[in-house]
A and B are shown apart, each in its own frame.
Chain A
Amino acid sequence: MKLTMWTYEGPPHVGAMRVAASMKGVHYVLHAPQGDTYADLLFTMIERRQSRPPVTYTTFQARDLSGSTADIFKSACQEAVLRFKPEALLVGSSCTAELLQDDPGGLSRTLDISVPVVPLELPSYQKKETWGAAETFYRLVRSFAGHGQRATDIAPNSCNILGPTSLGFRNRDDITEIVALLKGIGIDIRVVAPLGASPIDLSRLPDAAFNIVLYPEIADVTARWLQKTYGMPFVSTVPIGVGATRQFLADVRQMAGLEASDHGDASLGGTDRLTWYTKSVDSNYLTNKRVFIFGDATHAIAAARIASRELGFKVCGLGTYMREFARDVRAAALEYGVEPLISDDHLEVEQAIIDARPELVLGTQMERHIAKRLRVPCAVISSPVHVQDFPARYSPQMGFEGANVIFDSWVHPLMMGLEEHLLSMFRDDFEFHDNASASHLHADGAAPAALSVVASTSASTVADLVEDASWTSDAEKELKKIPFFVRGKARRNTEAFAADRGINPITVETLYDAKAHFAR
């Protein structure tokens, strides 16, 4: 039994949902009690998906346990096939149903269902979300690409892109970026999966010359199986950062049998601004800024490389919550001379951040909250995601444009070079007090002294202007119960209301009379 406050990953069936929701024509029948439908809102709220994820939950209840939960599962399958007419049906259990041992795979074989069924065995008490996604993708590919013969004449420049999924960190824009880059160098992209693919597309995977694994956490197992089964090689360089993007393009060219480019690839599919921006003089202040990095393995390793080699930061901590990829992160940590942190306990991560005294934290939403509390600038680089990680604007992490996005999003939370100089020049001026935060940071928490001076001055001015309005202590107490962000408005409205009607002192009644009066 493990004590957990917050988790980096959901259960493995949520990973399966991510794959089902990524694809077209796949429906997932999940044997689960009613509360498990919460997972729908990850897609509809966080990702702002316009349709419900393609999942049917059997919703068994305590009273069904003595009877037959298996029958509930069977009828849910039949109804789902009738209603959604999928090309393939995934079936499996959530953690509770796993304990019932109803065997969804076996049950679905007893049904006369007209579509292929892919049973999933996702051990909820051992494994987690990302593993569940990787396993689901692998099972689907095995089912649909496992029987075919590989075509004999395959164009050497043809490839598939494997790994992007629903709810993946910036996957939507990464794919656009990478597809454009690859098309620019003459690569023929056959299938992108699982995001946007149908089961039929999966059966065409062996018809390309090679695979590109963009997100090893999701697609490594599948790519290895395709290599073993069909001899398809794969490119595993992850194109995050300028150097890695160049390396990625070189690897792809080589695998596709294309000539190496002599004039560089920066002109293709985007412009690299990161390289010049980091050289420009304003970036001098970035030198050896201490950066703590934590996230999924791919993004954390890439972030460490960019931070140290492309931005001139100093990596002061590196870790991941994914034990499955711990080895890669350990190797990277060795390279930067830091102790690797492999943990899914956010309290341990918080302690490591405190100990490392970073000037910038690059992490997940979890580390964003930790950094906020510690008042350290932060940028998000990895899942678990939040609604903010699906920005309206185009903002990939991969390719040259991705590097530009990374420059902006990591550097903007820091105080700009010029601003830093000004602050030290005006150090003794009260408005540029030593404790003043950068202009773009919220002045929450420990308010700079200068701000509180201004606040108290203006408060006394307001009090002078409306010297007639006095509040009874009860009314004052009641006012304090109103959330702080509207309290000022409530006070002004009530005082205006009281002044209008000659009410003095302001009582709790007046407060609510005014509230009712201004209610809109």
Chain B
Amino acid sequence: MNQTSPTPCAPVATIRQRGQHEVFCGLTSIIWLHRKMQDAFFLVVGSRTCAHLIQSAAGVMIFSEPRFATAIMEERDLAGMADMHDELDGVVEKLLQRRPDIRMLVLVGSCPSEVIKLDLQRAAERLNHRLAPKHRVISYSGSGIETTFTQGEDNFLAALVADNAANSAQDKACDLVIAGCLADVVEDQFSRLLTAMGVENFCFLPGRQSDGVPRIGPKTRYILAQPYLGATAAALEALGATRINAIFPLGEEGTTEWLRAIAQSFGVSETLFDTVTSGPRQRARQAISHYRPMLEGRSVFLFPDSQLEPSLARYLCREAGAEIIEIGSPYLHREHVAGEFALLPVGVSVSEGQDVEVQIDRCRAANPDLIVCGMGLANPFEAEGRVTKWSIEFAFTPIQGYEQAGDLAELFARPLMRNAILAEGSRSFGGGRP
């Protein structure tokens, strides 16, 4: 059984439409990146809209002083009355006075800074000259004209890799890099499993501290833990690392195949692999089985959001028994998700990019049992009597690995359970009126 390198097949017709995208821009990924890397500070160079976006997407003002902020460009910057680079230096100085504990300062490009071609890479180099080694400064773009939602993380990780090629604090190259933000608890679970299989000298990208970025050498192999990391993969390969191909670690099957790909690459015996994974696999299946009755045979329509959609659809289809109507994704890295599509039934439709109005029309016509969509669309769909699951939760909740396989099923099952409870509740009064 080897599903990790499936024969290229295209069981799906891809709908490509352009129009309004109802997807966050790459700046949004700062919300989880700043929590993951605790000594980094993300400074968006942008407009009031950027500041408002991050604060609105983050819910409300949760932290007194978050490790992210916006340097808001003003009229005098654009009119050329103020030199933008001097202004930026001033903002950085003010920030570091308040927060001298910041080890890594990340300048994040936005739509307006990209349009006026403000060179943040140059700014980072200049600031580094002054601030290194006390503070390291890097830059990447999270602009909405170039990136969607999770692609912000991709660009950040690619910048980390590129920066690290020159400045790694580690002296020994890593054998295995696991790329993509995972919750700490998930990292710990994977670490235990890999250690038990005898795989050593592996590192996670990003690390929990800014100096924990792995060193990449020509013998380094890497595996993606998230499907949206095209630029990161390219950056790693530019340094000589080779990719271990696998589907993504969602669900029992995804996690097993993902771990198996690593095990095979590192010459772990099948017996040892089975010994290490059989317990957790059994647990994952057991946990999913609680929710399977609620998901089996239900039709699901996924709107584009995090690029996790092909993996989520594969999980829903193969482990929860759901029927997939459409998989929307803001962007598809065909090579990285080929394994996922090979496991999906023929005839599932896939859409890349978005024309939201037309997609809503398709969704209404298909009348699915569950719609996976963003927060801008969910309540309006609920008001039409449809059942929805907010997709943003997949980016913020630990869902990867064996021990979270049941949690992932619960995320999909909860709105259906809730709908059933409320429908039952309304039937119990009012003489059976609908």
Contacts and interface: CB of A to CB of B under 8 A. Distances in A.
Interface residues on B, range: 35 or more
Query: Which of A48, A65, A95, A347 counts the most B-chain CB atoms under 10 A from its CB?
Result: A95
Interface in B405-429: 406-407, 410
A57 B20 contact: yes
Interface in A356-395: 365-366, 369-370, 373, 386
B57 A38 contact: yes
Given A2-B74, A35-B111, A519-B290, A42 B19 contact: no
A60 B21 CA distance: 9
Nearest to B192: A508
Interface stretch (B63-71, B201-209, B320-328): B63-71
Interface stretch (A119-127, A315-323, A455-463): A119-127
Instruction: Give the interface SS of chain B, mostly helix, strand, loop or mixed.
Output: helix
Contact of A50 (B72, B112, B376, B383): B383
Which applies to chain A's interface (DSSP): helix, strand, loop or mixed? helix
A92 to B, nearest CB: 13
Interface string A239-259: 000000000000000000000
B74 A126 contact: yes
Interface string A104-132: 00000000000000000001111010000
A1 B69 CA distance: 12
A99 interface: yes
A347 B376 CA distance: 30
B145 interface: yes
B259 interface: no
Interface string B12-40: 00000011111111111000000000000
Which bucket holds chain A's interface residue count? Answer: 35 or more
A386 B69 contact: no
B153 to A, nearest CB: 15
A438 interface: no
Given A35-B25, A99-B112, A2 B72 contact: yes
A59 B20 contact: yes
Interface stretch (B85-93, B237-245, B307-315): B85-93
Contacts of B114: 62
B66 A5 contact: yes
A49 interface: yes
B234 interface: no
Nearest to B288: A519
Interface in B34-75: 45, 47-49, 51-53, 55-57, 60-62, 64-66, 68-75
B94 interface: yes
A34 interface: yes
Interface in B159-199: 184-185, 188, 192
Given A65-B145, A516-B406, A481 B376 contact: no
Contact of B287 (A37, A38, A65, A515): A515
Given A369-B61, A520-B290, A10 B52 contact: yes
Contacts of B66: 5
A62 B61 contact: no
Given A4-B72, A373-B64, A65 B406 contact: no
Instruction: Name the residue among A4, A347, A350 with the largest chain B CB count within 10 angstroms.
Output: A4
30 contacts: A1-B90, A4-B70, A11-B47, A33-B144, A34-B144, A35-B26, A35-B28, A35-B144, A37-B22, A38-B53, A41-B56, A42-B56, A44-B376, A44-B378, A45-B379, A52-B380, A59-B20, A62-B114, A65-B145, A94-B49, A95-B49, A96-B111, A96-B144, A124-B47, A125-B47, A125-B73, A478-B185, A515-B283, A516-B406, A519-B287
Interface of B: 18-28, 45, 47-49, 51-53, 55-57, 60-62, 64-66, 68-75, 77-78, 82, 84, 87-88, 90-91, 94-95, 111-112, 114-116, 143-146, 148, 184-185, 188, 192, 279-280, 283-284, 286-287, 290-291, 357, 374-380, 383, 403, 406-407, 410
Given A124-B47, A516-B283, 6 more contacts: A1-B77, A3-B69, A6-B51, A35-B25, A38-B376, A96-B145
